[in-house]
Structure 1
Amino acid sequence: MSTAPGYQSPTVTVSASLPKRAGGSVLIVPVATGDDDQARVVANPFLDAAAVGEIEGALKALGAKGGADQTTRAVAASLPFASVLAVGLGKAREEWSQEAVRRAAGVAARALSGTESVVTTLSELDVAAAVEGLILGSYRFADFRSTKTAPKDAPLAKITALATAKSAKTEAVRGTDVATAVATARDLVNTPPSHLFPDEFAKRARALGESVGLRVEILDEKGLEKGGYGGIVGVGKGSSRPPRLVRLTHAGGSRKSKKVALIGKGITFDTGGISIKPAANMHHMTSDMGGAAAVIATVVLAAKQQLPIDVVATVPMAENMPSATAQRPGDVLTQYGGITVEVLNTDAEGRLILADAIVRACEDDPDYLIETSTLTGAQTVALGSRTPGVMGSDAFRDRVATTSQAIGENAWAMPLPDELKDDLKSTVADLANVSGSRYAGMLVAGVFLREFVADGVQWAHIDVAAPAYNTGGPWGYTGKGGTGVPVRTMFAVLEDIAKNG
């Protein structure tokens, strides 16, 4: 396993002209479905009419139509490449969205598994999106493979992005940084719980933070107990591997700059505790720290991109296990800040550690607070496997959802009905951690978290229970396992805040 912090991305260079010598590289060319139902090369300043005709002729002979996500490998003898990969964008149009370019690049990267070097003209449509798609589409996690099952093909090592815009190099750097952050979150999620428990997770967070100059603070179990973090301590009581709280600070702003708090759920494995989960698919709970992974990757990305705002990540980490020392259904714990909670279900543990983190984060007087977590199975029931649910302050919730849709992670705004708070009444404490109803579970969790957000703080909760971990087949730039959602959403929101306040 690599000891360097973070995912090691392919080398990305930018060129304004087609290379005269390309060795064994493959040229990636975007195509669309023309009016004649044939694959047509999308307007491309790097290919002359003869080269375009040669490529289109080869594609016609192979039956390529240019449909979205369709890839066709061809040979163009006049070009200095081992082969050409045509990747379809769908029906021809004047402009293509960033997500269409990103997805096409991801499909191309997956089709070229084992290719070490590619040259892409997708970058002429959007440099950052093309780079992101290629890096994420080529992502693989093989840290725990022996030589018997390790991939035999070399991973993608070099990307040459062809682009004529003056801003191309800056955009390529941004695309590389964003994709690296997403891939870093994927690595953390994909690391098995035997090797990523709270203390180790905290150490990796420290290494990532210090690599970009973040200020790092870690509270161990003694510090958490002394500080009154009842939620984190309570959830961690059942494990022999004690909990942690990590704080990562990017001080990039001035006195007039906005301050943003990021919070991510870091349950390194979730058995459900005493309220134990069914055995089927419990191994997917290796992803229950997906929110924490995304937050850590995002604050590191904010530092790499030198965003001119202050960003403070507060990341609670615990392992939820059943044992003689585990908290029981019916126990009452005191959250950081003093609110008492009756634990009716120990499998609703994420909200307990997040409540502590939210109160602590609000002590920093942030203007905005974004929290993300693999919080409820109800998110999957309501929105499916690819659509995060966003709750919170109405205006900021809608801002986060709109931004997420624009960058392709497609979060959807959800309400927090006031009447649901009645379902969280406890006979012995201030709140219960679950309601007695089977309905609106995602919204009930959001209502619970709202009780811990300080007045005046604009906040959003992003539930990524299913979107953070792909249990199905690969698609676009997303493979099986950790997806890195919602890193790109949170970073885009941070960029928007830095620009517009």
Structure 2
Amino acid sequence: MTALTLSTAGAATLRADAVVVGVAKGARGAKGPVVAAGAEAVDAAFGGKLATVLETLGASGAEGEVTKLPAPSGLKAPLVIAVGLGAAPEKDAGYPAETLRRAAGSAARALAGAKKAAFALPVEAAGDAQAIAEGALLGAYAFTAYQDEGNGKKPLAEVALLGAKPRDKAFKDAAARAVAVAEEMNRARDLVNTPPNDLYPESFAAVATAAGKEHGLKVQVWDEKALVKGGFGGILGVGQGAARGPRLVKVAYTHPEAEKSLALVGKGITYDSGGISLKPAGHNETMKCDMSGAAAVFAAVVATARLGLRVNLTGWLALAENMPSGTATRPGDVLRMYSGKTVEVLNTDAEGRLVLADAIAKASEESPDAIVDVATLTGAMVLALGHRRFGIMANDDEFRTAVHEVAEEAGEDSWPMPLPADLRKGMDSPTADIANMGDRMGGGLVAGLFLKEFVGEGITWAHLDIAGPAFHEGAPFGYTPKGGTGSAVRTLVGLAERAADGDLG
């Protein structure tokens, strides 16, 4: 786990394996980069010629660009890493938080294996320090649990954040928030990356139980017998084909001064084969990631507890394996859900909405001020929005806008999506109250409409479909690694903060 320290030392005097500085693109027509604030001492060590040296090496200051160069004799660190920040901000304006976050992440990835690095990126306020710290801690992430020691570089061990003020409360709070959020995002990444032979409903529940003891959370687990007794037909129907049974886990954080309550519901399909409606070849290999929603919910509740936010926050993890077998749910079967509604299962690969429906109905019984569910729910959402942003649907336009604003503030790309009433008719069933499939076109919206049916009357609700950004199969970029990303954790923590302030939109 990468450590974070706030340092008053100068970039030239701190002993470290490397010093990280920012460079921006020059004015229009200029070829080379310009040195950003925070790098003055390093630039001085180069005789004021750092930008010229970087230009000679081909650097332009473009976002995500990383240039390594040996340090001159005036620096204690032997290596300088210049990371691009893109276009320089207007006069009297700082760099966007996400720009700093991504730059710090790129630098941290480039420093894999180093013991300590000094980050001398532009810091004008506590928010800048928080963004840099988050980016560095997230960029330093590596999943090595299943590799022999030495097989692959270890992550950067320590980040020394320069320009921050260790004794200033705003900076200390910003650093504490960055550590809590980044570490819990990395916990979510670990869960997503864990192979499904080791992470299954029972073992996921055990992880939640252990975290509950550590952080003072109340954890309740429904095993198969309890699910049968409770009438959780959706969760049981999805999990009945697997050798390892399903679970429903409630992870609750309460604050004695809380005035708002928020319920988070996460899809936790620890492996999704598609069931009897088996996925085609080439679509199974990454299906350990189908529990990313539950991982995000779990991580957000723990982060909220660590920050001590004045809110009552409950996470519901709907956990199951979706497997084909002689006991598996078949297309054409009818399930009686926890809410009492019956669902005709037309496609067993539309299973996430079934487990979520039970958990949403259960969460509704506690009458929270709002419910937000998170799920890698539909390939249709990836087709609509690509791999780097998630869709937001809601039964309240104002709340949908608020969730979108929080996501953007947190640095998570998202887009508001509609719930067209005309698509509901496609889920009419001649046998049951509703079918789990409807029109193929607009399939992500159809899934949202299905979930809406199970939200308690009068409860504000939003649905985040993170199928695109939850698992990254390409080359790492910024602070985003290959594999599990921890998508939606920052948005959920941001919503908890808004609730703590009494404003959920």
TM-score of the superposition, structure 2-length normalised? 0.94
User: Which of 61, 83, 88 is the aligned partner of 1:87?
Assistant: 83
TM-superposed deviation, 1:155: 2.1
CA distance in structure 1 between the aligned counterparts of 2:174 and 2:205, rounded to whole angstroms: 31
Give the letter aligned to residue 43 of structure 1. Answer: A
- Within 5 A, what are the aligned runs for 1:183-194? 183-194=186-197
Task: Please tell me whether residue 154 in structure 1 is matched to residue 154 in structure 2.
Answer: yes
User: Which of 247, 250, 255 is the aligned partner of 1:247?
Assistant: 250
Corresponding residue of 1:17? 9
TM-superposed deviation, 1:308: 0.1
Unaligned runs of 5+ in 1: 1-8
- Within 5 A, what are the aligned runs for 1:195-234? 195-234=198-237
Task: Give CA deviations for 1:186-235 in whole Å, capped at 9, x if unaligned.
Answer: 00000010100110011011112221110010010000000110101111
The 3-state SS of whatever aligns with 1:47 is helix
The 3-state SS of whatever aligns with 1:317 is strand
Task: Please tell me whether residue 477 in structure 1 is matched to residue 479 in structure 2.
Answer: yes
TM-superposed deviation, 1:164: 4.1
CA distance in structure 2 between the aligned counterparts of 1:185 and 1:314, rounded to whole angstroms: 15
Give the letter aligned to residue 38 of structure 1. Answer: G
Corresponding residue of 1:378? 380
Alpha carbons 1:274, 1:326 under 8 Å: kept: yes
Give the letter aligned to residue 112 of structure 1. Answer: L
Alpha carbons 1:18, 1:46 under 8 Å: kept: no
Task: Please tell me whether residue 285 in structure 1 is matched to residue 281 in structure 2.
Answer: no
Alpha carbons 1:397, 1:413 under 8 Å: kept: yes
Give the letter aligned to residue 456 of structure 1. Answer: G
Give the letter aligned to residue 111 of structure 1. Answer: A
* TM-aligned CA distance change 1:163 to 1:362, over 3 Å: same
Task: Give CA deviations for 1:388-441 in whole Å, capped at 9, x if unaligned.
Answer: 000012111111112112222111100001111111111111110101x32010
Q: Identity percentage over the alignment? A: 46
Alpha carbons 1:403, 1:489 under 8 Å: kept: yes
Alpha carbons 2:21, 2:39 under 8 Å: kept: no
Task: Give CA deviations for 1:313-351 in whole Å, capped at 9, x if unaligned.
Answer: 111100000001001111111110211111111111110
Task: Please tell me whether residue 60 in structure 1 is matched to residue 52 in structure 2.
Answer: no
TM-superposed deviation, 1:170: 1.8
Corresponding residue of 1:4? none
Give the letter aligned to residue 80 of structure 2. Answer: V
Corresponding residue of 2:112? 113
The 3-state SS of whatever aligns with 1:102 is helix
User: Which of 266, 271, 282 is the aligned partner of 2:273?
Assistant: 271
User: Which of 230, 237, 240 is the aligned partner of 2:240?
Assistant: 237
TM-superposed deviation, 1:462: 0.1
Alpha carbons 2:4, 2:161 under 8 Å: kept: yes
* TM-aligned CA distance change 1:449 to 1:49, over 3 Å: closer
The 3-state SS of whatever aligns with 1:184 is helix
- Within 5 A, what are the aligned runs for 1:51-450? 51=45, 53-74=48-69, 75-94=71-90, 95-122=94-121, 124-125=123-124, 126-147=128-149, 150-151=151-152, 153-165=153-165, 166=168, 167-254=170-257, 257-392=259-394, 393-435=396-438, 437-450=439-452
Alpha carbons 1:267, 1:319 under 8 Å: kept: yes
Between 1:85-94 and 1:354-363, the stretch displaced more is: 85-94
TM-superposed deviation, 1:55: 2.8
Task: Give CA deviations for 1:21-69 in whole Å, capped at 9, x if unaligned.
Answer: 5444211001112233322211228627723615334323323221211
* TM-aligned CA distance change 1:481 to 1:111, over 3 Å: same
CA distance in structure 2 between the aligned counterparts of 1:41 and 1:172, rounded to whole angstroms: 25
CA distance in structure 1 between the aligned counterparts of 2:330 and 2:480, rounded to whole angstroms: 38
TM-superposed deviation, 1:112: 1.8
CA distance in structure 2 between the aligned counterparts of 1:470 and 1:164, rounded to whole angstroms: 32
CA distance in structure 2 between the aligned counterparts of 1:447 and 1:24, rounded to whole angstroms: 54
Give the letter aligned to residue 227 of structure 1. Answer: G
Where in structure 1 do 4 or more consecutive aligned residues deviate above 3 Å? 19-24
TM-superposed deviation, 1:135: 1.2
